[in-house]
Amino acid sequence: DARVTQTPRHKVTEMGQEVTMRCQPILGHNTVFWYRQTMMQGLELLAYFRNRAPLDDSGMPKDRFSAEMPDATLATLKIQPSEPRDSAVYFCASGPLSSDGYTFGSGTRLTVV
Amino acid sequence: AQSVTQLGSHVSVSEGALVLLRCNYSSSVPPYLFWYVQYPNQGLQLLLKYTSAATLVKGINGFEAEFKKSETSFHLTKPSAHMSDAAEYFCALRASYGKLTFGQGTILTVHP
């Protein structure tokens, strides 16, 4: 089965450090999302790309977060500088433009100490 | 504006009992609706989807959901719960331009 690959699966970092999370969407999928999941807030949309162009990043703290798709096989989410409140599970999802739904990766569990 | 409301953050049932997880939506355009399941320490897995075809949708693991426009609902059901159904379930709405909006999730507990 085709799947969305996220790396790393786990990341522990110190406050103030840069964190980069990577996502390899399913080949041929032209829609990519980044979500953050916490106990308090649930699933929050951070960024949404279509054909590598950002369509919606209103959910992302602009001062420290950035999301890019340098090519169709890679999406990145960076946090600089990281803070303890950024501790969460970050999910990437991809899908076609049709109504088939989206496939989620297994997530990156980030802990900022 | 579009939104999804899941009624009940926790649902507990006995093994073999009916499972009913409630989802209501608000959308200014005909919605595409989805149910996802998340097992502990895993990503979200698509259970089923409604895309304006049949209003009763069957998914994996014996789950089904019925789209009711008049009630703006898309409740998830399973006739007989199994221990392996214990997980968190998310209802989601997709706008015509593709963005997904999720409900807050419902944790299903299944007792022996």
Of A78, A95, A67, A72, nearest in space to A3 by CA: A95
pLDDT-derived band of residue B96, with 50, 70 and 90 as boundaries?
A: low
How far is residue B67's CA from residue B53's CA, in Å, rounded to a whole number? 10
Mean pLDDT of all residues in A45-57:
90
Residue B9, token pair as written in the block: 């953050």
Residue A92's closest CA among A29, A41, A39?
A: A29
- Stretch B23-44: mean pLDDT, rounded? 91
Question: Tell me, what's the pLDDT at A2?
Answer: 83
- Give mean pLDDT, residues B84-105: 89
pLDDT in the model for residue B30:
81
CB contact under 8 A, B99 and A55: yes
DSSP H or E run through A6: strand A5-7
CA distance A16 to A80: 7
CB B45 within 8 A of CB B103: no
Does residue B1 carry a pLDDT above 90? no
pLDDT score of A32:
94
CB-CB neighbors (< 8 A) of B51 in chain A:
99
Q: What local confidence, expressed as pLDDT, does residue B2 receive?
A: 85
Answer yes or no: is pLDDT of B91 > 70.
yes
3-state secondary structure labels for all residues of chain B: CCEEEEECCEEEEECCCCEEEEEEEECCCCCEEEEEEECCCCCEEEEEEECCCCCEEECHHHCEEEEECCCCEEEEEECCCCHHHCEEEEEEEECCCCCEEECCCEEEEEEC
Q: How far is B98 from chain A (nearest CA, A)?
A: 7
Position B29 pLDDT exceeds 90: no
Asked if A45 lies within 8 A of B49 by C-beta distance, the reply is no
With b for 16 or more beta-carbon neighbours within 10 A and e for fewer, the B48-58 pattern comes to bbbbeeeeebe
Residue A48 has pLDDT above 70, yes or no: yes
Residue A62 scores a pLDDT above 90: no
The pairing of beta strand B19-26 with beta strand B32-38: unpaired
CB pairs under 8 A between A and B: 47
Mutate to test the interface with A, among B32, B44, B88 (most CBs of A within 10 A): B44
Q: Which residues of B touch A33 (CB under 8 A)?
A: 100
User: CB–CB of B98 and A31 under 8 A?
Assistant: yes
